Amino acid sequence: MSNGNARWRSTAEQIFPRLAAIGVLLLAWWATAASGLFSPNELPSPGAVLDAFAESFVTPDPPRESILQATQASLVRLVVGLSVGIVIGTLIGLAMAASPTVQRSIGSLMAGLQALPSISWLPLAILWFGLSERAILFVVIIATIPAMAIASASSIRLVPPLLVRAGRTLGARSWILQRRVVLPAAVPGYVAGLQSAWALAWRALMAGELISTGGKGLGHLLDANRQVFLVSRIFAVMLMIIIVGMAVEALFGVLDRRVRSKRGLLAAT
Amino acid sequence: MRAQRSLVAVPDAVPPGTPKLAARGVSKTFRNARGGVVSALGEVDLSIADGEFVCLIGPSGCGKTTLLNLFAGLDRPDTGEILMDGQPVTRPSPQRAVLFQDPALFPWLSVRANVEFALELIGVPKSERADRAMGWLRRVHLGRFANAQPHELSGGMRSRAALARALACQPQVLLADEPFAALDAQTREILQGELQEVWSETRNTFVFVTHNVREAVFLADRVVLMSAPPGTFVAEHRITAPRPREFEDVLLSKVVVDIHDHLLKEVEKVVEREREMA
């Protein structure tokens, strides 16, 4: 009974601040919209945006696609681009961890690449691949690679030396030591790397879709609605981008908590 | 046929009188953060007989952990050599299991999987691993916690799990580096008793590093006292009291006092030197 009570209280403590923050934001938005300072064509009310959001599922936005089709197109690009970027980035990171020479050479290159916002590759990508699917995917992949390379290399570098020594005294050597001791010990750091990589990929994808006009996707939809001044629809698409982003974030959050709770790395709350 | 084979002399048979474990003129220096050379271990010679329980004791920084790592094969000596059965030790081996100060269990594996991993590495077939792991875990009173993750155990239980994992290697030599140092006094005493019990069955050669004189005298056949750094050996005490030993044993208490006085002098030297440097 008291246990259930405590759980209910902690759930309430978790949820209340979030609801409160959203509530205050909505209230401020609604008040600003209702004040008449902006025309509804510039700043629609929360209600109007919600209507537009619901509508965009059934009535296609101007470029012939519903918001669901756009979401699907963007998610496919995210999955493909992120996967390719993760594989390449991880391989580079492993090489960096394995060899100090690679770490110094390619490692510094990766650090430099990370300092360059990935969207600045888009002009080049369009020249190389044309206004195509491949140009956008390129930008997403190039956003993911340095983050994954640096994260996987450092997660291996930060493996507690004691665990490696323990593995060696048990008789683990070379490949077995790497595969059975070093890599599993590096997993929490690697998952943290995945979390930041996906967020970078998502930003790069939205920017890429927004700029390379035509085609499908949530980014395109934003721009298409701007061209026909459908402000409430722009807000609706932004709402969708937030929802998808939070859902994917939650997915990686579950993975992260699983990995860390198994290893006793979760702070007791 | 089988009986006959066992009578034939093994080619790499160890000549009688060869110590199980030996350090010959071994020394080791390290570089500190500013690039200066710190002598961790002066030149030492030590022979340990098969089945002997030796405790290394000394003030901090005397190189007892360094010597243990050299025995394990985790580090290489600057001069001299480490021998096991007369053969040079060049790298770690499950024949010389190590208990570290921290239990060093793999946090992604359950307690049982930690032991099974050790069994796998010494080539135990998969079908036998679970049973044998459970056997070792029951031996250290952890049978009920076999499927727990290491972080779910208390400090004492983690130390037991590390002991089970080390014993599962069926090592000829066990090397322990203050394995109970982080435990509270009561848990520590219980584990010392359990260790004595398990060891009286397995009788591995044992090198046990500690700075706790009572622990050393309780466990060891021989207590080797090391000097203030750079560490060398300054005294040796043979403990002939029969086993199982009790902490309350009056004879043991007398030896404890002797060694304690001696150790205190070495610790004072260290403190003196530190004051001079300050």
Token pair recorded at residue A14: 């978790």
Q: Do residue B150 and residue A264 have CB atoms under 8 angstroms apart?
A: yes
Report yes or no on B4 lying in a domain: no
pLDDT tens readout for residues B38-92: 778 888 999 999 999 999 998 877 888 899 999 999 999 999 999 999 999 999 9
Q: Could you give phi then psi for residue B79, rounded to 5 degrees?
A: -130, 160
The answer, yes or no, to whether residue A172 has pLDDT greater than 60, is yes
Query: Would you state the pLDDT for residue A64?
Result: 67
Regarding whether B84 and B217 lie in a shared domain, the answer is yes
B146 and B118 in a common domain: yes
Domains identified in chain B, total number: 2
Half-sphere exposure of B68 (CA within 13 A, CB side): 28
Query: Quick one: B234 and B151 in the same domain?
Result: no
Q: How confident is the model at residue B6 (pLDDT cuts 50, 70, 90)?
A: very low
Of the two residues B21 and B37, the one the predictor is more confident about is: B21
Q: Which residue of A has its CA nearest to B99?
A: A166
Mean pLDDT of chain B: 88
Give the residue carrying structure tokens 């669901």.
A68
B25 Cα distance to chain centroid: 20
Mean pLDDT over each residue of chain A, to the nearest integer = 89
Cβ burial of A33 (10 Å; 0-12, 13-18, 19+) is buried
Of B118, B139, B170, the one marking the end of a domain is B170
Residue A2 has pLDDT above 70, yes or no: no
Decide if pLDDT at B127 tops 90.
Answer: yes
Which chain A positions have a beta carbon within 8 Å of B93's beta carbon? 169, 171
Last residue of a domain, one of B144, B170, B196: B170
Fold annotation for A60-262: MetI-like fold (1.10.3720)
The verdict on B24 and B87 lying in the same domain is yes
Q: What residues have CB less than 8 Å from B184, skipping those under 6 apart?
A: B155
Please indicate whether, in this complex, the C-beta atoms of A162 and B106 are within 8 angstroms of each other. no
Q: What DSSP designation does A41 have? A: T
Q: What angle do CA A34, A35, A41 make, to 5 degrees?
A: 65
CB contacts of B104 in chain A (<8 Å) are: 162-163, 165-166
User: Is residue B229 a part of any domain in this protein?
Assistant: yes
Measured at the CA of A192, the angle between CA A189 and CA A193, to 5 degrees, comes to 90
pLDDT of the residue at A3: 61
On the question of pLDDT at A61 being above 70, the answer is no
- Among the partner-chain residues B74, B107, B118, the one whose CB lies closest to the CB of A165 is B74
Residues A108-117: contacts with CB under 8 Å, at least 24 apart: A110/A145, A110/A146, A110/A149, A110/A150, A111/A146, A111/A150, A113/A142, A113/A145, A113/A146, A114/A146, A114/A147, A114/A150
Query: pLDDT for A65-81, tens place per residue?
Result: 788 889 999 999 999 99
| C-alpha to C-alpha distance for A166 and B250, rounded to whole angstroms | 38
pLDDT tens for B205-252 read 999 999 888 899 999 999 999 887 778 888 888 988 888 888 877 777
Residue A156 confidence (pLDDT) above 80? yes
- Residue B189 in domain: yes
pLDDT 10s digits, A212-265: 766 788 998 888 888 888 888 899 999 999 999 999 999 999 999 999 999 998
Instruction: For the sheet with B233-238, list strands across it.
Output: B96-99, B173-177, B205-210, B53-57, B222-226, B233-238
Is this model's pTM higher than 0.80 or not?
yes
CATH number of the domain that residue B259 is part of:
3.40.50.300
Among the residues of chain B, which ranges form H helices? 2-7, 64-72, 111-121, 126-139, 155-168, 185-202, 213-219, 250-277
| Residue B213 placed within a domain | yes
User: Is there a single domain that holds both residue B197 and residue B60?
Assistant: yes
Could you tell me the residue ranges of all domains in chain A? 60-262
Q: What is the pLDDT of residue A230?
A: 86
B139 lies in which domain range?
107-170
Higher pLDDT, B258 or B39: B258
Q: What is the pLDDT of residues A89-144, one digit of tens each?
A: 999 999 999 999 999 999 999 999 988 998 899 899 989 988 888 899 999 999 99
Of A162, A163, A168, the CB nearest to B92: A168
Asked whether residue B260 is domain-assigned, the answer is yes
> Where does a domain end: B137, B170, B203?
B170
Q: Mean pLDDT across the stretch B140-144?
A: 93
The answer on pLDDT for A31 being more than 70 is yes
**What proportions of chain A, in percent to the nearest 5, are helix, strand and coil?**
80, 0, 15
Q: Residue B231 forms beta bridges with which residues?
A: B41
Q: CB pairs below 8 Å between A and B: how many?
A: 63
